[in-house]
Amino acid sequence: MRVIRRTSGAVRGVLGATVFAWMVIAMSASGQARQQPRTIDSGVYSAEQAKRGLGVYQAECASCHGEKLEGGLGPMLTGGTFLTAWGGRTLTELTDKIQNTMPFQAPGTLTREQSIDIVAYVLQAGGHAAGQAALTAA
């Protein structure tokens, strides 16, 4: 009888450990799915933001960066050169750069919201689709 009890206890222990392991795996997988980072191709800004950003861009940025972000006195804000300079960096870093150093003639005068709206416009001009939710300050 002792062998049967030990086996039953061992079987229950293995079964319990297996069930626990599957629960951990399932919870981990669902947690990873929820925590997937958003990318610029997952609709991280709203169309309304990009529209506001266009207005701010035209008033504050176009004189240096060009009407179509093609560059001029300032660097281009779309295309391969822009992606090379900013690829792998965050939208928060881009927003910070805009807010703290632009416009050239009056750095630091743009609000956080204006800077975020400009980023939304730059994303739209670069061919990245808008989403439902607005890009928010990080």
Asked if the structure places residue 24 within a domain, the reply is: yes
Give mean pLDDT, residues 25-49.
Answer: 69
Q: Are residues 66 and 117 in the same domain?
A: yes
Burial per residue of 82-113, b for 16 or more beta-carbon CB atoms within 10 angstroms, e otherwise? beeeeeeeebeebbeebbeebbeeeeeebeeb
Q: Are residues 70 and 109 in the same domain?
A: yes
Q: Please count the residues of the chain.
A: 138
Query: pLDDT tens digits, residue range 24-33?
Result: 444 444 444 4
**34: confidence class by pLDDT, cuts 50, 70, 90:** low
The pTM (predicted TM-score) of the whole model is 0.73
Query: pLDDT tens digits, residue range 93-109?
Result: 999 999 999 999 999 99
DSSP state of 107: T
Asked if the structure places residue 42 within a domain, the reply is: no
Q: Are residues 15 and 80 in the same domain?
A: no
Q: Residue 23 belongs to what domain range? A: 1-36
